[in-house]
């Protein structure tokens, strides 16, 4: 048969090629150029990116006891549809294992389904009890689709250290805006206070990423590409502290009902052995399910539980400042250790009498005796001598130089502890005196600084650090908590704390004279009660007058009890500073507490005959009524302020709303609402809206 | 033609076609394997898995092809009408005793084997059409013969429509390509194409716009041909006539079809294809807001899977979108997604080129025949393959309506694989005797 249609073969071939080209072009658009957004959509479907949260680092004390740990909490989670699809699912048994009634289970499940739908994972029970977890884990294989989801929480095994360990919480929206928190995502935990905040980058670790495959019901069915794209989570490094948790617990217990602080430092290393701000609270209140309710309770407490008295409260040091005055004068060359002052019960050189508790002859015959007897006149005079020393041309340079000494001692500025929020206290400057005395002053105006009164304000930490300088005979290392990061004690972050800060030269047995005086305080001076058997404790008491303003009235409160000490005298191992607010003499409260801490630290226990002392301290109720009065006044003021603000706001909103309302009525009455006009081409194109309006098949 | 001389015979067998065939089947089996692969190391040989079944069907196909290659080529032309009759009989039997699967009655169950006569009937119809068109006294220019040919091609389609396998029935329209090659006038194809364009235009434009556009085009054509029209009024009548047909079609016929003849899901599919929402006037039966229908979901999942492949793909067995039922029917109708996700634009282009090459080779083979029977059969095969590839790939990437037909040689499905294997090897067998004239 003749073939007269052969040219049609070319048409057919053309058709095949054309279709091939069209298909390839369409694939090019879809796959390479991502037209239509399908390429983008695939990112959020079958492959799920799961962030693996690393274990947070632990805190260990000096004997490697864990003082901050992680525990696992278990949540019960499942996809409702998966259970529904199993007709033989034994819900009753599950309820029995969970120790809930079937009715509760069903109502709760129903509620969650209403919120999330059938196909999403729902968390039915949070933080299951350990018994329920144990029971469930045994039989978990019988319950297909039931997941026990682990989550880590912080736990404080010793219930101690709330003042410095700090806590973690979910990162807030404001924090996420900052560059510092760029690596954080919503829901991540972050250190809010204390060491948790200070060492956040080390404790946090590195989050890992898992790529998981999920099926169409969003159930995880395995890892993507056998996990070759995954990155493992790196657990946070643990921090090894200098802290002695037993001593910490003892000190916290003793100071339960006191306002104040106790700081103990190892003078050799600057390591903080104990760090109490009292009253405190159980740090475990900061974790778990009742976290936010507990935090509200803590914040509302009249005793200001979150106020860190060890580094944020500042006190006049009182007599505990006298050894520092002495060191400055000795280093300046203003006096020698043998210098004596004829005190007869007062200091009269500047006209006005400054009282001294001693009047016996020779109680300030030399420096050692003056410290042991805590002679006020002696130290006022010594202060004046050092400020007015001939090396300084005038009193201005003298005070300036004295200020420089104070700065070297770490006073008048934050010492630099590895804790956020440290305060610097106050050291009066030349400028300050110029302002107060109208530029017309001399050393007489401020001689009481020498005995620790006047405009001086120190934090307990600064007091303890000053003790370290005396114990070390002239130098200190910046007080800090962390001994080693992981096992690395020379970590870059710890370098600033390695440096010896030399404050004064130890020549002519300068320091020994001061140390002897402080030894005398314990042996035969004011603090005989602070003796520790078999240890040469050196200390100094302080009893600080203080006043407060209530409703504009100046009221004298009970004295602060202050005590500083170090032990032993040769090769000291611990320096302590204790402040108990509004309690009385330094020797009555602060002294015994410090000595018991020293005993606990050096002997690891309290001797039986001193146990009663611990009990006496713990049972004391020394929180003054003024605390509660002040708190209620503050709260009332705050409430009034808030109500005023709210009223103002309401009024403002009202007027704005009224204006808006009136405007809208005006607009409605005056303006005739016009229908939006369509251009000619809009009328041609058949838009969706128009299609709805248009009824083109009325037949 | 008794006594085949193996040496000369093997030289005549078209190796290129067989090679392309084997490559396509290979792509199919690894794609099905990848879909079912879940990462657990459970060994390759598992009888309950689809890829194993596909492999077994491939083995049976190879066995049959050997038998075909060693049979007499005259057998196929002689048996053509008989087998066509047999096929029709099978289709009718299925209509009565067939197994009901998803609302369609197209499977015949014999023991544990399920066969779909609608697939096999393609082969018989191709043979019958070839036999009819290659008859000695055939004059395809007569309307009567043309109608008979169309009848041979579409009669099975009617029965299959009754089985409610619309997709498979549509495949029989691909025989028009073979008939076109044999002399069906141009206007048949052109007007078919014109009707598709007209339908799409009707659906996409508002009636007013459509009216204006068509009228402007008509006026423009009249203005352009004003000299001719002056000479002979016939041109004017013809243009106005076409204009009137367009108007009737768009203003009456399409709305009528969409509201009374087509089911709502079919309307939905057509609108999905052109990327528009179904207008309320056509969304009969569906209450309230029109939700995303199953076919819309399928296509969007399919497009997501394909797009996620990118240029070079995610690598073999690394597909994530084509596992765990993200894409429905991923072993069968949407198997292309698996290829596209794992091997990307690169791999899918190669697959498209493989099919293009395969079709071109068949056309090339068809054109070198002395025998018209073989040529028509080859064009019949080419047409069916072309239709399958176009519609299947088109629907996975969203440029063709969702019609449930498999991707030839690649999709999972025993009957489909066997039917195409038999047809291809029958062509190879016939081609080996290309110097003979078969009738």
| Residue B40 banded pLDDT, cuts 50, 70, 90 | low
Report the pLDDT value the prediction gives residue A669, as an integer from 0 to 100.
65
> Chain A: nearest CA to B170, how far in angstroms?
18
Residues of B in contact with A695 (CB under 8 A): 281
> pLDDT tens digits for A388-403?
888 778 888 889 999 9
Report the pLDDT value the prediction gives residue B122, as an integer from 0 to 100.
92
Residues 226-285 of A with CB under 8 A from B: 226
Return the minimum-mean-pLDDT range out of A557-571, B90-104, B364-378: B90-104
> pLDDT tens digits for B223-235?
877 787 888 888 7
> Chain A: nearest CA to B163, how far in angstroms?
30
> Chain B: nearest CA to A27, how far in angstroms?
6
Answer whether A697 touches B (CB < 8 Å).
yes
Q: Is the pTM of this model over 0.90?
A: no
**DSSP codes, A19-54:** HHHHHHHHHIIIIIS-GGGHHHHGGGTTEEEEEEPP
> Chain A: nearest CA to B136, how far in angstroms?
8
Comparing alpha-carbon positions, the chain B residue that sits nearest to A19 is: B390
Report the pLDDT value the prediction gives residue B35, as an integer from 0 to 100.
85
Residues 31-50 of A with CB under 8 A from B: 31-32, 34, 36, 38-39, 41-43, 45-47
> pLDDT tens digits for A24-47?
998 998 888 877 777 777 766 677
Do A691 and B279 lie within an 8 Å CB cutoff?
A: yes
Comparing alpha-carbon positions, the chain B residue that sits nearest to A27 is: B345
Do A46 and B321 lie within an 8 Å CB cutoff?
A: yes
Residues of B in contact with A24 (CB under 8 A): 349, 352-353
Nearest to A27 among B39, B177, B345 (CB): B345
Do A5 and B39 lie within an 8 Å CB cutoff?
A: no
> pLDDT tens digits for B244-301?
888 887 777 777 777 776 776 677 766 765 556 666 666 554 433 344 556 677 788 8
Sign of the Cα torsion A134, A137, A142, A147 reads positive
Nearest to B326 among A34, A216, A692 (CB): A216
Nearest to B320 among A9, A46, A684 (CB): A46
pLDDT beyond 50 at A360:
yes
Beta bridge partners of A563: A541, A578
**B439: Cβ contacts below 8 Å, ≥ 6 apart:** B77, B131, B134, B135, B136, B371, B373
Residues B347 and B349: their CA atoms lie apart, in Å, by 5
> Chain B: nearest CA to A689, how far in angstroms?
10
Do A46 and B323 lie within an 8 Å CB cutoff?
A: yes
Q: A15: closest CA among B222, B180, B302, B53?
A: B180
> pLDDT tens digits for A243-262?
999 999 999 999 988 999 99
Q: Which of A454-458, A683-687, B237-241 has the highest mean pLDDT?
A: A454-458
Provide mean pLDDT across the span A550-570: 88
Comparing alpha-carbon positions, the chain B residue that sits nearest to A2 is: B372
Residues B27 and B342: their CA atoms lie apart, in Å, by 12
Do B318 and A225 lie within an 8 Å CB cutoff?
A: yes
Answer whether A7 touches B (CB < 8 Å).
no
Burial class of residue A410 in the structure, from the number of CB atoms within 10 Å of its CB (0-12 exposed, 13-18 middle, 19+ buried): buried
User: What tokens were used for B35?
Assistant: 């879909």
Do B356 and A16 lie within an 8 Å CB cutoff?
A: yes
Interface mutation target, options A4, A27, A29, A215, chain B, most CBs of B under 10 Å: A27
Do B183 and A4 lie within an 8 Å CB cutoff?
A: yes
CB A504, CB A469: distance < 8 Å: yes
First to last CA, chain A: 54
Report the pLDDT value the prediction gives residue A675, as an integer from 0 to 100.
53
CA angle B2–B7–B8, rounded 5-degree value: 70
Phi, psi for A594 (deg, rounded to 5): -60, -45
CB A462, CB A415: distance < 8 Å: yes
Cβ atoms within 10 Å of B56's Cβ, excluding its own: 12
Report the pLDDT value the prediction gives residue B87, as an integer from 0 to 100.
93
**B368: Cβ contacts below 8 Å, ≥ 6 apart:** B431, B434
């Amino acid at each position: 048969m003749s073939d007269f249609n052969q040219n049609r073969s070319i048409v057919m071939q053309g058709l095949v090629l054309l279709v091939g080209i069209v298909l390839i072009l369409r694939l090019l658009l879809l796959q390479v150029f991502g037209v239509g957004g399908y390429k983008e959509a695939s990112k959020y479907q079958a492959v799920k990116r799961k962030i693996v949260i690393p274990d947070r680092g632990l805190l260990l004390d000096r004997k490697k006891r864990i003082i901050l740990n992680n525990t696992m909490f278990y949540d019960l989670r499942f996809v409702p549809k998966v259970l529904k699809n199993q007709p033989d699912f034994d819900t009753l048994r599950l309820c029995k294992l969970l120790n809930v009634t079937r009715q509760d289970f069903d109502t709760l499940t129903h509620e969650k389904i209403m919120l999330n739908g059938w196909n999403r994972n729902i968390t039915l029970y949070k933080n299951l009890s350990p018994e329920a977890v144990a029971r469930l884990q045994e039989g978990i294989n019988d319950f297909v689709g039931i997941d026990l989801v682990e989550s880590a929480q912080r736990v404080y095994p010793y219930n101690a250290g709330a003042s410095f360990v700090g806590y973690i919480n979910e990162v807030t929206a404001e924090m996420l805006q900052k560059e510092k928190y760029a690596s954080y995502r919503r829901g991540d935990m972050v250190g809010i206070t204390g060491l948790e905040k200070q060492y956040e980058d080390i404790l946090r670790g590195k989050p890992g990423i898992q790529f998981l495959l999920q099926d169409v019901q969003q159930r995880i069915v395995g890892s993507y590409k056998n996990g070759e794209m995954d990155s493992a989570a790196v657990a946070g490094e643990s921090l090894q502290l200098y802290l002695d948790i037993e001593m910490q617990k003892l000190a916290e217990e003793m100071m339960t009902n006191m306002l104040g602080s106790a700081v103990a430092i190892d003078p050799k290393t600057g390591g903080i052995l104990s760090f109490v701000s009292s009253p405190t609270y159980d740090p475990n209140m900061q974790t778990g399910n009742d976290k936010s309710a507990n935090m509200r309770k803590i914040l509302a407490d009249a005793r200001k539980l979150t106020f860190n008295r060890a580094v944020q409260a500042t006190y006049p040091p009182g007599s505990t400042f006298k050894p520092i005055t002495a060191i400055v004068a000795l280093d300046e060359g203003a006096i020698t250790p043998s210098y004596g002052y004829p005190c007869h019960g007062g200091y009269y050189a500047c006209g006005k009498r400054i009282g001294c508790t001693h009047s016996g002859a020779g109680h300030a015959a030399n420096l050692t005796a003056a410290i042991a007897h805590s002679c006020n006149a002696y130290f006022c005079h010594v202060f004046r001598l050092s400020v007015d020393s001939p090396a300084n041309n005038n009193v201005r340079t003298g005070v300036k130089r004295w200020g420089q000494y104070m700065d070297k001692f770490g006073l008048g500025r934050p010492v630099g502890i590895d804790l956020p929020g440290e305060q610097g206290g106050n050291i009066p400057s030349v400028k300050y005196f110029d302002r107060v005395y109208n530029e017309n002053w001399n050393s007489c105006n401020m001689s009481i600084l020498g005995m620790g009164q006047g405009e001086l304000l120190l934090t307990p930490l600064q007091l303890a650090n000053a003790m370290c300088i005396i114990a070390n005979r002239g130098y200190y290392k910046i007080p800090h908590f962390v001994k080693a990061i992981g096992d690395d004690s020379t970590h870059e972050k710890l370098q600033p704390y390695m440096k010896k800060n030399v404050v004064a030269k130890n020549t002519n047995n300068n320091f020994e004279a001061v140390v002897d005086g402080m030894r005398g305080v314990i042996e035969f001076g004011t603090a005989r009660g602070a003796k520790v058997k078999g240890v040469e404790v050196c200390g100094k008491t302080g009893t600080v007058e203080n006043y407060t303003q209530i409703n504009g009235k100046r009221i004298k409160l009970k004295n602060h009890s202050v005590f500083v000490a170090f032990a032993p005298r040769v090769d000291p191992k611990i320096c302590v500073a204790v402040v108990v607010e509004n309690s009385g003499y330094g020797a009555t409260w602060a002294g015994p507490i410090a000595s018991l801490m020293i005993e606990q630290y050096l002997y690891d226990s309290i001797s039986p005959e001193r146990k009663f002392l611990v009990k006496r301290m713990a049972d004391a109720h020394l929180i003054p009524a003024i605390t509660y009065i002040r708190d209620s006044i503050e709260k009332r003021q705050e409430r009034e302020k808030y109500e005023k603000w709210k009223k103002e706001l309401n009024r403002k909103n009202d007027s704005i709303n009224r204006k808006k309302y009136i405007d809208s009525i005006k607009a409605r009455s005056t303006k005739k609402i016009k229908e939006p006009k369509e251009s000619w081409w809009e009328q041609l194109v058949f838009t969706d809206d128009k299609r709805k309006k248009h009824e083109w098949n009325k037949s | 033609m008794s006594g085949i001389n193996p040496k000369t015979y093997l030289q005549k067998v078209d190796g290129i076609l067989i090679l392309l065939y084997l490559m396509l089947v290979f792509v199919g089996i690894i794609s099905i394997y990848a879909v079912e692969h879940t990462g657990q190391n459970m060994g390759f040989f598992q009888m309950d898995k689809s890829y194993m079944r596909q492999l077994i069907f491939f083995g049976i196909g190879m066995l049959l092809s050997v038998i075909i290659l060693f049979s007499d080529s005259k057998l196929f032309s002689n048996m053509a009408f008989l087998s066509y009759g047999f096929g029709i009989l099978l289709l009718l039997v299925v209509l009565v005793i067939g197994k009901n699967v998803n609302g369609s009655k197209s499977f015949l169950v014999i023991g544990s084997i399920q066969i779909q006569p609608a697939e096999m009937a393609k082969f018989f119809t191709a043979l019958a059409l070839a036999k009819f068109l290659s008859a000695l006294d055939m004059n395809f220019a007569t309307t009567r013969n043309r109608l008979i040919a169309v009848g041979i091609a579409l009669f099975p389609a009617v029965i299959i429509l009754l089985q409610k396998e619309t997709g498979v029935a549509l495949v029989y329209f691909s025989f028009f390509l073979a008939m076109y090659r044999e002399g069906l006038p141009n206007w048949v194809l052109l007007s078919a194409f014109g009707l598709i364009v007209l339908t799409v235009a009707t659906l996409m434009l508002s009636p007013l716009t459509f009216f204006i556009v068509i009228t402007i085009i008509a006026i423009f054509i009249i203005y352009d041909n004003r000299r001719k029209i002056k000479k002979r009024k016939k041109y004017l009548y013809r243009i106005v006539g076409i204009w009137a047909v367009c108007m009737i079609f768009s203003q009456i016929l399409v709305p009528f079809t969409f509201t009374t003849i087509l089911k709502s899901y079919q309307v939905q599919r057509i609108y999905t294809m052109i990327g528009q929402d179904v207008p309320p006037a056509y969304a009969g039966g569906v209450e309230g807001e029109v939700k995303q229908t199953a076919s819309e979901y399928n296509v969007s999942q399919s497009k997501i899977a394909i797009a996620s492949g990118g240029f070079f793909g995610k690598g073999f067995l690394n597909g994530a979108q084509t596992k765990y039922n993200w894409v429905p029917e991923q072993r069968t109708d949407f198997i292309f997604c698996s290829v596209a996700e794992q091997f990307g634009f690169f791999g899918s282009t190669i697959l498209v080129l493989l099919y293009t090459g395969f079709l071109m080779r068949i056309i090339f083979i068809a054109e070198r025949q002395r025998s018209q029977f073989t040529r028509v059969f080859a064009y019949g095969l080419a047409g069916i393959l072309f239709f399958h590839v176009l519609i299947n790939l088109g629907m996975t990437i969203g440029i063709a309506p969702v019609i449930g037909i498999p991707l030839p040689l690649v999709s999972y499905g025993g009957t489909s694989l066997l039917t195409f294997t038999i047809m291809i090897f029958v062509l190879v067998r016939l081609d080996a005797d290309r110097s003979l004239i078969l009738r």
